[in-house]
Amino acid sequence: TLGGSDGSNSSHGGLEARHIKSLLHLLESTEDSSVQEQILVTLGNSAAFSVNQDIIRNLGGLSLIGKMLSVPITDVKQKALNAFNNLSMNTKNQEELKIYITNVCEEVEASSVNSKLQLASLRFLTNISVTDDYHYMMSSFIPTFLHLLFEGIERTQVQVLKVLVNLSANPAMAEHLLNSRVKLLSSFAPLLLSLFDGCINKDVLLRVLVFATNLTKSMRHDKGSAIHNRYNEDSIFSTLSDNSLYTQKLASLLHHHDAEVKEQPRGPPRIIPSSKS
C-alpha cells in the first residue's frame, strides 16, 4: 500500500479529497443506476491508494457504498463490491466493513455460479479473511464455499479456495472446516480427492494442497481417542484422515513436474496474500 497523507489537496489516482466528497454526495442523492455504477467504479479505483481508503472512510463513504448492496440491480451491487474489495485492504476500514460480511456471504450463496457478482463477493471475503478477526462470521457458509469448489469453473475455484485457505490458517476454524460436508453432493469425499491430481489447474492444485496442509497440521495438534467421534463420516476430516487414496495422491504429487506443487504436500500453515481488484 502507498503512504498516506493528511493533506486534503493531495491527489492520489487523480482524485482529491474534495472530489471524493462530491462523488459521495452524488452517490447519496442519485437513483440513476448508470450514474451509481460510474461513481462506484471511480471510488473503487481511487481506493487502490491507501490515503483515499482513509478519506472515503472519514467522509462516511463506507456506509454509502454499503447501501448500494441493497440496490436490486446486479451491476450496481457488483461495482459496490469491487469498491469494497480495495477498501477492505485497510484494517480500520475492515472494522466498519465487517457488518457486511454476512450479507456478502449470502450474496455468494444466492448469485449465479461463476457470475461476476459472485466473484466480486468472494474477492471481498478473501481480503477481509486475511486476518483471523472475522472468520467466525463466515463459519456457517463453509458448505456453500465447498459447493462452489466443485460446481465452479477454475476462476471461481481459485477465488473460493483463497477464502478457504485463509480460514484454514486459523486453528480456531479447524473444527468447523473439518466437520464440513456438502449436503447436496452425495459423493463429497471422491470429489474432494479428485482435486489432488497432477492434471488439475496449477492455481487450483496449489491452493487445495495448502488448504489440506493447514487442516492436517491442526489435526495433528488435536490429540485424543475421541477425536473421530466429533466428525461426520462424509466430512473433510474423514477424507483427510486414514484415507489411503489421499496418501497415494499426495505421494504421486511429489513427482509432479512443477517445483511449487512438489513442495506443497509438506510445510507450515499459509494464507493467500490479498489482492486489489
Q: Note the pLDDT of residue 257.
A: 86
Nearest to 66 by CA among 95, 37, 96: 96
Q: Compute the average pLDDT of residues 57-79.
A: 98
- For CA atoms 71, 75, 80, 81, the dihedral sign is positive
The confidence score (pLDDT) of residue 277 equals 54
Angle, helices 33-46/50-58, rounded to nearest 10 degrees: 130
Q: Is the pTM of this model over 0.75?
A: yes
Give per-residue pLDDT as tens, 103-155: 999 999 999 999 999 999 999 999 999 999 999 999 999 999 999 998 999 99
What DSSP letter does each residue of 41-81 carry, written as one string?
Answer: HHHHHHTTSHHHHHHHHHTTHHHHHHHGGGSS-HHHHHHHH
**Phi, psi angle pair for 34, to nearest 5°:** -70, -35
pLDDT digits (tens, 9 = 90+) for 13-30: 668 999 999 999 999 999
User: Among residues 101, 100, 25, which one has the least CA distance to residue 56?
Assistant: 25
Contacts of residue 247, defined as CB under 8 A and 6 or more positions apart, other chains included, come to none
Angle between helix axes 101-110 and 142-151 (nearest 10 degrees) is 40
Cross-strand partners of 15: 12
pLDDT, position 222 = 62
186-228 residue pLDDT tens: 567 788 889 999 999 999 999 999 999 899 888 877 655 445 5
